[in-house]
Chains A and B, each alone.
Chain A
Amino acid sequence: MDALDRAIVNQLQGGFPLCERPYAAVAEQLGSSEDEVMARVERLLRDRVLTRFGPMFHAERLGGGLSLVAMKIPPGDFERVAEIVNAMPEVAHNYAREHALNMWFVLATETPEGQREALDRIERETGFPVYAMPKIREYFVELKLHA
């Protein structure tokens, strides 16, 4: 990554303009050209320096259900349970974490009612209880990493 890549990564975390030629607008702020900025964004996405670029939708405002879920899985059952959980299309991210509660995933369903059904299914198929942790309150959501 060179200085322009870093500038683009930093700038685009803040927001991308809603106008006819948004890449040109960004290019002007960064002292580059429209074509250059477009090419750089394409490459940063291809190289997975950026994982997403576009509108960030709020799942619940769209009418969906969303929850963080944790499970406490003994070592001998971990791979089996991970496979079952990962196979569900409603599971977007699944991380192993260092704690007695060692499996953490995000469950996204089309409706809030769908959450209970999906969680029941996970408990049934894995044989382990789920700790559903939907957000009660959101205080701040913004990623601002300095490239």
Chain B
Amino acid sequence: MPSPAFPLDPLDRLIVLATQDGLPRVARPYHAVAEQVGAAPAEVMARLQRMLENGVIRRIGAVPNHYALGYKANGMTVWDVADEHVDALGERVGQLESVSHCYQRPRYPPDWPYNLFAMVHGHDRAEVEQKARQIAELLGDACRGHEILYSTRILKKTGLRIA
């Protein structure tokens, strides 16, 4: 089920707006944000810390461009995992080093029998396939089938505007 919304007040919302496009490259970036939103730096940092603790912010950091780092193969591996095992197995698949995102999603039989999605990045398809074999091994008999969907074209890629 979706994560419930965490209550944010107007200052929290201003901080979200001021930082969702990124942190400035100045020596004291949180001070710069504080100036922008009209609050004390300590308050801004405390608000950001609270958002981190409550999962409103997953983390503060960088997202690499996988293509630029040589990971040319971007494989969405999808698995038909028995419902009674999918949560326990999903947790374990998510822990694998090769997996970046792991979710349970609804099936649409017969077109789409898969309920477990795991994004796998590799330098080439052979590497993605090798990592998929690791996942298959982990899932064992609980898995009734899988596919790997490679992206062939980026049709659109803009940031999420969420505030």
Contacts and interface: CB of A to CB of B under 8 A. Distances in A.
A54 B22 contact: yes
B100 interface: yes
Interface in A68-96: 68, 70, 72, 82, 85-86, 89, 91-96
Interface in B20-44: 20-23, 25-31, 41
Interface string B126-163: 00000000000000000000010111111111111111
Given A12-B62, A55-B20, A24 B2 contact: no
Contacts of B93: 139-140
Contacts of B102: 138-141
Given A72-B111, A139-B93, A133 B106 contact: yes
Point out which of A16, A18, A47, A82 has the most chain B C-beta atoms below 10 A from its C-beta: A18
Given A13-B62, A140-B101, A101 B1 contact: no
Contacts, number: 254
The prevalent SS among residues of B at the interface is mixed
Contacts of B19: 54-55
Interface residues of B, number: 81
Nearest to A50: B62
B37 to A, nearest CB: 13
A14 B25 CA distance: 18
A61 B6 contact: yes
A20 B62 contact: no
B91 interface: yes
A130 B74 CA distance: 23
B31 to A, nearest CB: 7
B27 A23 contact: yes
B149 A97 contact: yes
Contacts of A21: 27-28
Interface string B3-17: 111101000000010
Interface string A21-42: 1111000000000100011011
Interface of A: 9, 12-16, 18-24, 34, 38-39, 41-42, 44-45, 47-66, 68, 70, 72, 82, 85-86, 89, 91-101, 103-106, 108, 112, 131-147
30 contacts: A13-B63, A16-B61, A19-B45, A22-B30, A23-B25, A39-B25, A52-B63, A54-B22, A55-B48, A56-B59, A56-B61, A59-B160, A62-B162, A62-B163, A63-B8, A72-B111, A92-B159, A93-B156, A99-B149, A103-B155, A104-B151, A131-B108, A135-B2, A137-B86, A137-B104, A138-B102, A138-B103, A139-B94, A140-B95, A145-B69
